[in-house]
């Protein structure tokens, strides 16, 4: 029963996280297209927004790695019911 609860929570987290990642990626792509077509935005601001988008992507990857590590640790500590 506990393993089923863990699997459910893991599936729920992964689905939600994937949706957030997809939204972040698409938003980043839209911003990149917008900035490429915006002649009035200076290179300084384009670079700043690009750096911000990259930082967000790196943070998403860090959160995903931490979650995967913690799910693995939890699964190791919970006895398997065969």
- What is the model's pLDDT at position 70? 94
- What is the model's pLDDT at position 67? 94
In this prediction, residue 75 has a pLDDT band, given cuts at 50, 70 and 90, of confident
d(CA 4, CA 7): 5
Predicted confidence (pLDDT) per residue in 15-73, tens digit? 999 999 999 999 989 988 998 898 898 999 989 988 998 998 899 899 999 999 999 99
- What is the model's pLDDT at position 82? 54
Task: Determine what percent of the chain falls in helix, strand and coil, rounding each to the nearest 5.
Answer: 85, 0, 15
d(CA 21, CA 26): 9
- What is the model's pLDDT at position 6? 87
Domain ranges of the chain: 1-77
For 32-63, the DSSP string reads: HHHHHH-TTS-HHHHHHHHHHHHHHHHHHHHH
């Amino acid at each position: 029963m506990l393993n089923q609860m863990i699997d459910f929570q893991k599936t729920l987290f992964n689905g939600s996280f994937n949706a957030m990642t997809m939204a972040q990626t698409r938003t980043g792509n839209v911003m990149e297209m917008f900035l490429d077509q915006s002649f009035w935005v200076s290179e300084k601001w384009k670079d700043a927004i690009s750096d911000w988008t990259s930082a967000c992507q790196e943070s998403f990857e860090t959160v995903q790695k931490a979650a995967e590590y913690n799910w693995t640790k939890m699964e190791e500590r919970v006895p398997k019911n065969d």
